[in-house]
Amino acid sequence: MIVILFGPPGAGKGTQAQRLEREKGLVQLSTGDMLRAAVAHGTEMGLKAKAKMEAGELVSDDIVIGIIRDRIAEDDCKNGFILDGFPRTVAQAEALDGMLKEQGLKLNAVVEMKVDDNALVDRIAGRYTCAKCNAGYHDTNLKPKVDGVCDECGSTEFKRRPDDNAETVAKRLEEYYAQTAPVLPYYAEKGVLRQVDGMASIDEVAKQIDAVLAA
Ligand code: AMP
């Protein structure tokens, strides 16, 4: 199964993608995570992406399309994958169509997670991840079961993203409405666009996504 989780920063795409990976064996493909890894390793691509990411702007289509093209050709994607944060422009959506076609694959659903802008800033301000395994947490909405210990791997080190500050979040939202929201009609026309209430609790959103994917 191939699914796109779609929505603004802070909508809960990563949280739900990680859950789908755990529960359904679909691989989470987060272009944001891949770009952050490239920045951390100081690769040529990372160097190109770094300034854009810090400014809350989109990285060039060529770079992210290249990353996804290489990644979906890998063996672990054969049983299906969840795209989290890609596509973010109409050009990326068109390129994805081409790649899927080349590989004889079909997009099952684009799940739009609908959220209020006001909630996004609070959600983003409170989020952090395990420094070792990248499991996502939140100061109030999703705490580890044991305070300060990652549920998944037991690590006690956590990190926050440098672009999760109020100014950069405002820019990321602006980019979402200018460049990413226009992708929605593209998928609506193809008849694959579905919606869930991203304002509901994590468990409720999970139920809604599962229902959409089972339909
Ligand atoms: P995310 O982790 O999805 O919030 O992405 C973090 C940052 O990585 C974004 O603000 C962009 O700078 C960059 N990025 C991630 N995915 C894409 C994409 N599909 N197209 C362009 N830039 C991206």
Contact present, 99 and 72 (Cβ < 8 Å): yes
Residue with the nearest Cα to atom 5 of ligand 1? Answer: 32
Catalytic residues: 13, 88, 127, 161, 172
pLDDT over 90 at 117, yes or no: no
In the chain, DSSP finds a helix count (H) and a strand count (E) of 9, 8
Give the pLDDT confidence score for residue 122 in this predicted structure.
85
Q: Which residues pair with 81 in a beta bridge?
A: 2, 27
Strands 81-84 and 109-114: unpaired
Band of residue 16 on the pLDDT scale cut at 50, 70, 90:
very high
Strands 136-138 and 127-130: antiparallel
Which ligand 1 atom is at minimum distance from the Cα of 56?
A: 10
Tens digits of residue pLDDT in 21-38: 999 999 999 999 999 999
Tens digits of residue pLDDT in 199-208: 999 999 999 9
Give the pLDDT confidence score for residue 113 in this predicted structure.
97
Q: Is the pTM of this model over 0.95?
A: no
At residue 157, φ and ψ (nearest 5 deg) are -110, 135
Ligand 1 pocket residues where CB is under 6 Å: 9, 31-32, 35, 52-53, 56-59, 64, 85-86, 88, 92, 172
Q: How far is the CA of 97 from the centre of ligand 1 (A)?
A: 19
